[in-house]
Each structure stands twice: as structure tokens, then as C-alpha cells.
Amino acid sequence: MWVAAEVPDSRQLRLQALGLVLPERAVVWGPTAAWVWGASVLADDDLDVHVVCPNGSRVRSRPGLRVVQGSLDPADVVQWGPVRVTSATRTAYDCLHRLRRIDALVTVDELTHLRRPSMGELTAYVESCHGMRGVRTVRRLLAEVEPLAESPMETRTRVVLVDGGLPRPVAQFVVYDGDGCFVARLDLAYPEAKVAVEYDGALHWAQRRDDDRRRDRVRALGWTVIVVSASDVFREPEHLVAQVALALAERAA
């Protein structure tokens, strides 16, 4: 496949190229399949394409291509443009099985949020996978998946709190005032304690004033609102857990 030098490298371009040279039974899987189904990529600069080839295949990993060998049920494979890709349910299963836990949860939270697959479809699929490699790990992680999560950082924040020993917060909790009118939808919340955890991303400043007003209205209803940044999640997770734990303890006192 010849491409003009000025055309930027991309996963889409690589998939089109691989579709011309991969063996007929090769299947795109794992993180690349998750991207095909609409999930964000875990690393923007990682353009490697992940492929599973039949046992005994001569295709080997090389720069830009990561190959594993194995077999797939025909029902777990769909055609996507020039290549074959694992189905949405099989893609979510493989990510839960193969990726490290936090990456798996970030990816599968997003896939189930997109309903590719829905949580019900994924649960039913996992229940049918008796004896499949990795099924115990997948069943354990399935309980941690949150299809209501709306961003990778919401997922990471939730995992930091849970891993720090705190109860699992409620995702996308809706707050109403005393008249039953909508006030806000919170990223993560402990409703009984009226403690909320909100994530602000690097591009958040454009809507900062609107969010400040929304949070002021929530605080006026007796809530404690803790605003979290990437630094809290990646650099000071213990401080974040301690801050939320203190807020919960003060409410319980």
C-alpha cells in the first residue's frame, strides 16, 4: 500500500494497510478492537495494531504490529471495513482478561457506556464462557465495571477511592432541590453522606464558571463537593482518599 508522505500516520491508516496483507483468518482484537468500537485509546502515541492469528501462523510481531496466536469462535468475529475484528462482547472480555486492571476498567467502562456492548450483553456473554481462559479474572473485574462513567478520569478517580478502602461511590448521581427540581448531576457521589467528588480536566476552564455556579447550588443543599484534578489522581492518590475519607467521617459524626 503506497501512501503520500504527507499523510499523517493513524490507526485507521494502519488498519487499511494491514487489511491488504494479513492472513484471511487474522482478527484485530484487544485495545485496537476497543478503539474500533469507539473507546478512547490508552496512549495517544501508541499506534500499534493488535492482532490474533490462528495457532501455527507464521505472522509474527514487529514494529507497529503485535501478534498473539489463538482461536476464536466465528460468532466472536465481525467484518469491519477491510479487516475482521472481535465482536463488542468479545473485545470487552479480552480487555478485562488481558489488560492491566486499571486500563481494563477504563476501556470497558467506556465500551459499556457506549453500549458496545451493553452491560447486560457483556454479563450474559461472560456467564456463557464456562472454562474459557481468563474467565475467573473477567468475572471478578466485571463487578467493578461502571457503564455510567463518562470519562476515563472518572473511572480512574473511582478506582483510586475504592482501592484506598472507601465505599464505591455512585456514578452520575442526580441532585434535586426540595421542590423536586433538577439541580445537578455529579460525577461521583456518596448520597447518604452528601459528599460529592467531581473531576475537572485540563480543558475544563472554558466551562469553569458554569460548574462553579452548579456546585454552589449543590453546596447550598448541604453537600460537601470535592473537586479533583489529574494531579490528585496520579500524583497524590493517598491525599485524595484521605480528603474524601475525612469528609465522610465528618458527615457521620
Q: What is the pLDDT, as a whole number, of residue 205?
A: 56
Question: Which residues fall within 8 angstroms of residue 109, CB to CB, at 6 or more apart?
Answer: 145, 146, 147, 149, 152, 154, 155
Name the CATH architecture for the domain at 152-252. Answer: 3-Layer(aba) Sandwich (3.40)
Q: What is the pLDDT, as a whole number, of residue 94?
A: 96
Query: Residue 241: left if φ>0, alpha if ψ -120 to 50, beta else—which one?
Result: alpha
> Tens digits of per-residue pLDDT, 103-132?
999 999 999 999 999 999 999 999 999 889
Q: What is the pLDDT, as a whole number, of residue 3?
A: 45
> Tens digits of per-residue pLDDT, 151-165?
999 999 999 999 999
Q: Which has the closest alpha carbon to 99: 34, 155, 149?
A: 34
Q: Chunked in runs of 10, what are the mean pLDDT values of the chain (253 residues)? A: 52 65 83 92 72 83 84 92 92 96 96 98 96 94 98 97 98 97 97 96 66 91 96 96 98 88
Boundaries of every domain in the chain: 11-142, 152-252
Q: What is the pLDDT, as a whole number, of residue 49?
A: 85
Contact present, 158 and 149 (Cβ < 8 Å): yes
